[in-house]
Structure 1
Amino acid sequence: MFKQDPKVKGLEVHRVGGAVRDELLGWPVYDNDWVVVGATPDMMRKRGFKPVGRDFPVFLHPETSEEYALARTERKSGHGYGGFEVHASPDVTLEEDLLRRDLTINAIAQRADGEFTDPFHGQQDIENRLLRHVSPAFSEDPLRVLRTARFLARYANLGFTIAAETLDLMQQVSHSGELEHLAAERVWVETEKALAEPSPDIYFTTLQRCGALSVWWPELNDHLSAGLTRLMHAPEQTHMPLAHWRYALLVSVLVDPQRDALAQRLRLPNAVAQLARHVALSFNLMAAPLTDEGVLHWLERLDGWRKPEQVKAQLQLICRINSELEAPLRNAWQGAKAVDPQALVSEGLRGGALGEALRARRQQAVAKALA
């Protein structure tokens, strides 16, 4: 039960989606989504709501900024996530709006007095710990394959599984060619969210089970087990998000061309692609005995003189994987960083000679620290 907002007094308003689901599961609810039945855009604007929906009528509450969407239906009209025609009007019922949703646990509505509208038995599926599609229209939106895998990554530790018939649909979509029409940015958004969930490994194993991994992550198909083992070593409390660390660890088992192809296909943010390169460098460094040339190359690739935070981040990772290496590497970095280029300039070195001498002195400092 929740308090009825005076801004929507006189309208038929229901809380829907994730807020209802998570409250029933006992999870914290951070924000609410609302559906308004029987209203028009003009009615919402007159109450001070700000229209923000580009493809369908969604409004922001003038005080809370929570989203209020007019009840709508959807009809498949093209490929991919955006290939739908939307119909929103006062004659669309709540049940019709809930019918267009992906999973039954996301198709529960709640009134202010606490009463639930649950035409597809989402509460029962919550009790049975089951992710089940609402209708065959599930297969019309290929993004739902990724979303379902992400929900399993979130709730698997509560005992959730995917219904057999839903997994069948996910397999059909994965082999239909529809996944290829998704925008790379949408694929990354879902993947980034999944990487932050309690069981991110389950996202990828689920996608492999249904055949979706081969579409967007073919490089991982033969290396998934090794990548998932590394994924669990992500450092905590760094300046970079946990999801980005986990991605970088996952793809660190790939060779450079594979990792670069995956980054290009997913159109990764530069910071994520760079972190993936750095993590791979660190694993390559740890895979062989430390040498002054190898450590210096590692520091140079991390731009350790101008961007110390990048070295600090990799030292945190190395400490989690092989703590004995952290101190000598840190000492080597500090020693190399202490070499003063101005001292070499004062010796009369310029241009290429200066660069060669600077590198040689840094390598000597690294060798001394490692010894």
Structure 2
Amino acid sequence: MQIYKVGGAVRDRLLGKPVTDIDWVVVGATTEEMLARGFRPVGADFPVFLHPKSGEEYALARTERKSGRGYGGFTFHASPEVTLEEDLIRRDLTINAMAEDDQQNLTDPYHGQRDLEARLLRHVSPAFAEDPLRVLRVARFAARYAALGFTVAPETLALMRQLSESGELQALTAERSWKEISRALMEDQPQVFIEVLRECGALKVLMPEVDALFGVPQPETHHPEIDTGVHTLSVLEQSAQHKQPLTVRWACLLHDLGKGLTPEEEWPRHIAHEHTGLKLIKAVNERFKAPKDCQELALLVGQYHTHGHRALELKPSTLLELLQSVDVYRRPQRFEEFISACEMDARGRKGLEQRRYPQADYLRGAATAARSVAVQPLLEKGFKGPELGEAIKRERLKALKAYKEAASA
């Protein structure tokens, strides 16, 4: 029995990056031997075990064969005869197909170290094209290592394009797709993820609503970058630079989908794109079964981001409607995320990345004014039920009028 550290742990050590998760592969062992040593099996049919003390995953060396569509369409074969090289060849990228023993002696049959030095994301074997999930994974690695100068090898991009055209991407489950998308959005350069998907034709298949934004112009006075797709990438880039949470990044990606529906004869204006985009945002949310908080914020930002930008001009009644729609009284954190997404949208414009966004503090002040309305005095006056709701609304409107006047003075 021989045990090797494999995959990401080896790659990141060679890159000088911190190693978090460690995967191990065991060569020359049987399931019975692993159980006898106290390892606990993971699942019934999968040759993966948990270490009795550390809880880390140890997998028996295995080969795999394509047996159906999609990410799960594989048959695995694990036995003591499977070599380390046979196990490594089934992996996606050469930089993930290296192993080292307990003395840090490197086994690198597919030249992963060479590709690390060349800053290339290259597939290990033609079997890469058998797993559609790898299109998303490679795009995610491109986003993760873009700052180090990594690019996708042309021959790997060609295979990704082949996969995108094959119809295999449709076989991916919402859960697997979302796992990759959400991880990619939290990388340092998530816009690279979208760029790579677009370059290989996968964006058109997975998110045609986002793909449709490229080539759609906007008024140059507001958007010096003009192209709506380029603007979306810039907003996403800003959200990463400002360390925004996943909810905000997802909303940033989807906020302008309505502009993809504007008839060409109306370009570069996009009247009511906030409302036309809602059905598209809803469709993308449902397609990937995004978490509820991501779905809700994306819809709110899609509908109200222009309200955010025009906050200082809004009538008190419109301001009140915005505060109530975001549910600022019970969901203050969501309101902060809404403001953040609006700010990223404002900064995601060519040459305006550093411009101040006074709307943020103005909106926070408006929320404070509306929250300051006390309910108890209204109860003491005898208001109850729907009448109480109307009375609270009137008092909040009065507070917002006073706030606006004070801010304008």
Work out whether residues 36 and 69 of structure 1, in 8 Å CA contact, stay in contact via their aligned partners in 2. yes
2:234 aligns to what?
229
Give the Cα separation in 1 of the matches to 2:7 and 2:292: 33
Deviation at 1:282, TM superposition (A): 4.8
Give the Cα separation in 1 of the matches to 2:248 and 2:138: 23
2:97 aligns to what?
107
2:112 aligns to what?
122
Work out whether residues 248 and 338 of structure 2, in 8 Å CA contact, stay in contact via their aligned partners in 1. no
1:355 aligns to what?
389
> Aligned with 1:234: secondary structure?
helix
Which one of 155, 160, 164 corresponds to residue 170 of structure 1?
Answer: 160
Give the Cα separation in 2 of the matches to 1:21 and 1:236: 25
2:253 aligns to what?
250
Work out whether residues 185 and 266 of structure 1, in 8 Å CA contact, stay in contact via their aligned partners in 2. yes
Give the Cα separation in 1 of the matches to 2:230 and 2:120: 26
Deviation at 1:355, TM superposition (A): 2.0
Which one of 32, 44, 58 corresponds to residue 68 of structure 1?
Answer: 58
Read off the aligned partner of 1:348 and give its amino acid letter.
G
> Aligned with 2:360: secondary structure?
helix
> Aligned with 2:18: secondary structure?
coil
Please list every run of 5 or more consecutive structure 2 residues that lacks an aligned counterpart in the other structure.
214-228, 258-276, 347-355
Work out whether residues 235 and 245 of structure 1, in 8 Å CA contact, stay in contact via their aligned partners in 2. no
Q: Is 1:341 the counterpart of 2:375 in the alignment?
A: yes
1:366 aligns to what?
400
Read off the aligned partner of 2:337 and give its amino acid letter.
A
Read off the aligned partner of 1:353 and give its amino acid letter.
E
Work out whether residues 35 and 71 of structure 1, in 8 Å CA contact, stay in contact via their aligned partners in 2. yes
Q: Is 1:35 the counterpart of 2:25 in the alignment?
A: yes
Please list every run of 5 or more consecutive structure 1 residues that lacks an aligned counterpart in the other structure.
1-10
Give the Cα separation in 2 of the matches to 1:331 and 1:235: 26
Q: Is 1:272 the counterpart of 2:316 in the alignment?
A: no
Work out whether residues 235 and 316 of structure 1, in 8 Å CA contact, stay in contact via their aligned partners in 2. no
Deviation at 1:235, TM superposition (A): 8.0
CA deviation string 1:31-63 (max 9, x = no partner) = 211100110111111111111144421011111
Work out whether residues 186 and 240 of structure 2, in 8 Å CA contact, stay in contact via their aligned partners in 1. no
Q: How many residues align?
A: 359
1:95 aligns to what?
85
1:5 aligns to what?
none
Deviation at 1:272, TM superposition (A): 1.1
Q: Is 1:311 the counterpart of 2:301 in the alignment?
A: no
Read off the aligned partner of 1:73 and give its amino acid letter.
T
Q: What's the % identity of the aligned pairs?
A: 48
Work out whether residues 226 and 253 of structure 1, in 8 Å CA contact, stay in contact via their aligned partners in 2. no
Work out whether residues 318 and 325 of structure 1, in 8 Å CA contact, stay in contact via their aligned partners in 2. no
1:292 aligns to what?
316
1:49-68 matched pairs, under 5 angstroms: 49-68=39-58
Read off the aligned partner of 1:27 and give its amino acid letter.
K
Give the Cα separation in 1 of the matches to 2:108 and 2:253: 39
Deviation at 1:327, TM superposition (A): 2.9
CA deviation string 1:276-309 (max 9, x = no partner) = 2333355221343222122111110111122222
Deviation at 1:317, TM superposition (A): 4.9
Deviation at 1:315, TM superposition (A): 4.0
Deviation at 1:175, TM superposition (A): 0.6
Give the Cα separation in 1 of the matches to 2:321 and 2:240: 23
